[in-house]
Chains A and B, each alone.
Chain A
Amino acid sequence: MAPILELRGITKRFPGVLANDHIDLTLNQGEIHALLGENGAGKSTLMNVLYGLYRPDEGEILIRDKIAHIAGPRDAIAQGIGMVHQHFMLIPVFTVTENVMLGDESIVNGVVLDRKKVAREIRDLSVKYGLEVNPDSYIKDLSVGIQQRVEIIKLLYRKADILILDEPTAVLTPQEADDLFQVLRNLKARGNSIIFITHKLREVLELADRITVLRLGKVVGSADPQNTNSAELARMMVGRSVILSVDKEPAQPQAVTLDVKNLVVLDERHNVAVNDVSFQVRAGEVLGIAGVQGNGQTELARALTGLRHIESGSVSILGEDTTHATPRKISELRVAHVPEDRQADGLVLGFPVEDNLVLNEYYRPPFAKGLVMQREVIEKAAEERVQEFDVRTPSIFVNVSSLSGGNQQKVIVAREFSRDIKLLIASQPTRGLDVGSIEYIHKRIIEKRDAGTAVLLVSNELDEIMSLSDRIAVMFKGQIIDTVNADETTKEALGLLMAGMRDESAPPRAQTEIPDKSA
């Protein structure tokens, strides 16, 4: 089969970073080619070069055996290239139709937008590719899964046949991801060629026809999914062998640290998000909160850490009532928080790394004497923490915004874990991180557990929940639908609970009860 697309020696430099180093890549007609690599390996940069968002410093792009000059997205679109970006490029207050037609509008009577015609085309594409969506809906009213369909329709509407998907499953539930894979296979069957960027090994093995692995801006190898396995791919990605499961001893739970009773919390729109939730977390155990995104986990974590008003119910930490306590009060009870939105709640992006490393204690000795911050002490502590937690940064004085996502997360973990903590509330602690960072953070969490910290882990990643938790509570529509022991459940059983289906024949467990086994 002749390659439809060929990248030759693509090199892209950013100040101080060689993001792509002479990368060669071919894409055949009608194949799904997975581009695998850790965060920061240069996958997105390469695709942005191909889509015309970056100019390469060296190298050339051949499309259908001809050298293509791609100076901007317009050229890429004209060559039949379409890209679904990791962060969706949709306008929330526009309808599906308006989003799809933007930049390539249908016009009647010389000037008037022809929304009807585009809506009709969208319906046709929906039927043809199984991408069901209402053209008249506003994007802001659609779920993330459906928004992604709109992104794919945008490409098809422009008659793109070389499709690039950048980390498309990062925001999807397992079910939505399965739907997406079906759509991609369907597209492939109709002759489209697809580049699929991911760092999830399972997806690569399930979907790809060919695999190319990038590391530190270089192609380190390629593989055929039939002849490889997760361990081998992971080794290529990280450059060493990685342990994919977490080694941990059985938990030794002690006294109750976090006690939540009949908690009710509202969301931004004043709808009930957490509905009468009760549970306990003991010192030395990890309670995982599983669930599909948007079932109240976000609001739960925010309420427990004092970032969201509690309507009714009570929260006590180490016997102290913190229902309406301020975040600082809760922090001073030696509670650590790894927030879900690390850039909004976890860091001050415009501050240097060193200040971000002491945000929870900057006002107290030894970091402050009275009103005056002790720069030397802070610098010394920051240097130590950067060393200990392997934060990759040019120095502790650069703004934390210039770090990669994984290193930003390590800054948060370094700050929160560097003191003696009694309770850890971690929301999506490894979202968007590479295998190496995930492994590292998981190890740290288990260390804290074994040191007697109570851990509440909120995650949408079922694998993460299952490998770290001792007990798992599943949230569905704001309630804890069931609580199970991690070693007595399966992924399938949790999946059903996450979808709100409970085995009605089994007696419901009392939600406040701690299983005897662990006592």
Chain B
Amino acid sequence: MFGMVATAAARKASDVAQQRRWLVGGMLVVIGLLCLWFFAMQVPADVISKYRFSGGGDPVQLPVIELPTRLTNFILALALIAFGAFHITRGVAHSGALFGVSASLLLAIFLTWSIRGASLNLTGLLESTLIRSIPFLLGALSGIMCERSGIINIAIEGMMLTAAFVSVIVGALTGNLWIALVAGLLSGALIAGAHAVLSIRFKVDQIISGTVINIFAAGLTNFLNLRWLTVNQELNNSGTFAKLPIPFLSDIPVLGTILFNQIILVYIALGLMFAVNFLLFSTRWGLRTRAVGEHPKAADTLGVNVFKIRYANVIFAGMLAALGGAFLTLGSVGRFDKLMTNGRGFIALAAMIFGNWNPFGSFGASLLFGFMDSLQLKLQILTSVIPSEFLLMAPYLATIIVLAGVVGRVRPPAAEGIPYEKQ
């Protein structure tokens, strides 16, 4: 009799996992069915979606792929339904794979439907995806370095905005982009230093400190922009970094255009992603950083200087965010506009959480958000039935789903947000 009860209870326990699989898988099936109906069945049979791979002026013209919209989406929607059913019955263990496959299928369906009767340069879309993901990536790396050491960083937005502003002015004054960049980085370090002193030394609530910095940065740059830049327009022109094609590699069709024909800041950002990953997981500094973020007292009893590690990480984090901010000006438009970061610091925060405080995962999330960002621009041109603003909501929506633990579990550093008190 005990045995029976035991197995019954054990079954009940595994039911909880099963329930979640049903929830996620069921959602995918329902979404798949909706796609089938709306994005396939509602489209006339003879409509074609054209994917191009080269721009109008490119020397090499690649063949255009013409897909029947209805049939293509029919197949893709069926694949999504099948994937959902597979998750219910067998379970997809890797949450990244689960999310990646379903998001890719959904985006493909939506994209094919959006360009029905029209054509889209896919290479161009992916190229702009990468460029637009860079500020998210840098912001996320900033968050990772800071939070892995136990200090919450919601001031990424403010750090980016300040650096964007400072680098434009210094660029205009000196005419040297590198000096402008360094000035931007220093401004980020300065702001981060303030955050560090407030949260480490004065033990201010880190959310409040971060919020204060965001408000301060927005107010200050607005004020200076209005009072100073609008009257001295010549100060609001820094110039931008030129594209730096990598010899040979940039000649590869599609891939070369996307990856190897970018400005130097893109290469630096991608390099930093690898560097941060290496730093965190393979070096002494990284081990101590993570230890301090998880259990500062344990680190302290082993002679690790908790405060030193935290100060250094927060300031380095400020410079990473600043690079993301400078990228928006020096790497793109060469001028400052009011509140031009436009919430990118917060999307970066979402990318950090999405990537579970890991550089590569956060890059994946940044790419996804960058894709949404560039897609909504294209859709404005294509005048879709669906307002492009909905796509801009996607990062936040996706973050809520991840935080709710529907797709997989994320785990912040254990000591995050708790000031360390030495006896």
Contact = CB atoms under 8 A, between A and B. Distances in A.
B287 A73 contact: no
Given A91-B291, A107-B284, A73 B303 contact: yes
A167 to B, nearest CB: 16
B2 interface: yes
Given A48-B423, A90-B295, A90-B298, A272 B303 contact: no
Interface in B281-299: 282-284, 287-288, 290-291, 294-295, 297-299
A483 to B, nearest CB: 15
B2 A103 contact: no
Contacts of B2: 275-276, 479
Contacts of A48: 423
A103 B12 contact: no
A54 B294 contact: no
B17, B291, B294, B301: which has the most chain A beta carbons within 10 Å?
Answer: B301
A311 B9 contact: yes
Contacts of A276: 1-2, 5-6, 9
B386 interface: no
Nearest to A264: B9
A112 B304 CA distance: 18
B291 A94 contact: yes
B300 interface: yes
Contact of B283 (A90, A102, A111): A111
B301 A73 contact: yes
B297 A89 contact: yes
A105 interface: yes
Contact of B282 (A104, A112, A154, A272): A112
Contacts of A77: 302-303
Contacts of A271: 10, 13
A155 to B, nearest CB: 10
Given A48-B423, A72-B303, A105 B284 contact: yes
Interface in B1-45: 1-2, 5-6, 8-10, 12-14, 16-17
A200 to B, nearest CB: 24
B297 A113 contact: no
Interface residues of B, number: 32
A270 interface: yes
Contacts of B5: 262, 264, 275-276, 312
B298 A89 contact: yes
Contact of B288 (A99, A102, A275, A312): A102
B312 to A, nearest CB: 16
A53 B301 contact: yes
Contacts of A102: 287-288, 291, 298-299, 302, 304
Interface string A90-122: 111110001101111101000111000000000
A103, A312, A479: which has the most chain B beta carbons within 10 Å?
Answer: A103
Contacts of A72: 303
A335 interface: no
A266 interface: yes
A331 B78 CA distance: 56
Interface residues of A, number: 39
Contacts of A94: 290-291, 294
Interface string A147-169: 00000001000000000000000
Contact of A93 (B294, B303, B423): B294
Contacts of A91: 290-291, 294-295, 298
Contact of A89 (B283, B287, B295): B295
B16 A103 contact: no
Nearest to B17: A270
A89 to B, nearest CB: 4
Nearest to A72: B303
Interface in A467-512: 479
Secondary structure class of chain B's binding surface, majority of residues:
helix
Contacts of B295: 89-92
A113 B303 contact: no
Given A264-B9, A275-B6, A54 B423 contact: yes
Contacts of B287: 98, 101-102, 105, 113
A272 B6 contact: yes
Contacts of B14: 270
A89 B301 CA distance: 8
Contacts of B17: 270
Contacts of B1: 276
Contacts of A275: 2, 5-6, 9
A92 B294 contact: yes
B284 A113 contact: yes
A276 B283 CA distance: 50
A74 interface: yes
A202 to B, nearest CB: 29
A154 B10 CA distance: 38
Contacts of A266: 9, 12-13
Nearest to A276: B5
Nearest to A272: B9
A74 B303 contact: yes
Interface in A66-102: 72-74, 77, 83, 85, 89-94, 98-99, 101-102
Nearest to A89: B298
Interface in B399-419: 411, 414
A289 B70 CA distance: 68
Interface in B262-319: 282-284, 287-288, 290-291, 294-295, 297-304
Nearest to B411: A93
B13 A272 contact: yes
B411 to A, nearest CB: 8
Contacts of A92: 294-295, 414
Nearest to B281: A113
Nearest to A83: B301
Given A91-B291, A103-B303, A113 B282 contact: yes
B423 A53 contact: yes
Contacts of A105: 284, 287
A104 to B, nearest CB: 7
A405 B304 CA distance: 29
Contacts of A311: 9, 12
A449 to B, nearest CB: 31
B122 to A, nearest CB: 40
Contacts of B301: 51, 53, 73, 83, 85, 89
Contacts of A113: 282-284, 287
A271 B16 CA distance: 10
A48, A102, A276, A312: which has the most chain B beta carbons within 10 Å?
Answer: A102
B291 A272 contact: no
Interface string B200-229: 000000000000000000000000000000
Contacts of B304: 102-103
Nearest to A265: B9
B410 to A, nearest CB: 13
Nearest to B2: A276
A93 B281 CA distance: 13
Nearest to A77: B303
A73 to B, nearest CB: 5
Interface in A42-60: 48, 51, 53-54
Contacts of B291: 91, 94, 102
Given A89-B295, A312-B9, 16 more contacts: A48-B423, A73-B300, A77-B302, A89-B298, A90-B298, A93-B294, A94-B294, A102-B288, A103-B299, A103-B302, A103-B303, A111-B283, A112-B283, A270-B16, A276-B1, A311-B12
The 6 closest A-B pairs by CB, nearest first: A103-B302, A74-B303, A89-B298, A276-B5, A270-B13, A272-B9
5 contacts: A89-B297, A90-B298, A262-B5, A266-B12, A275-B9
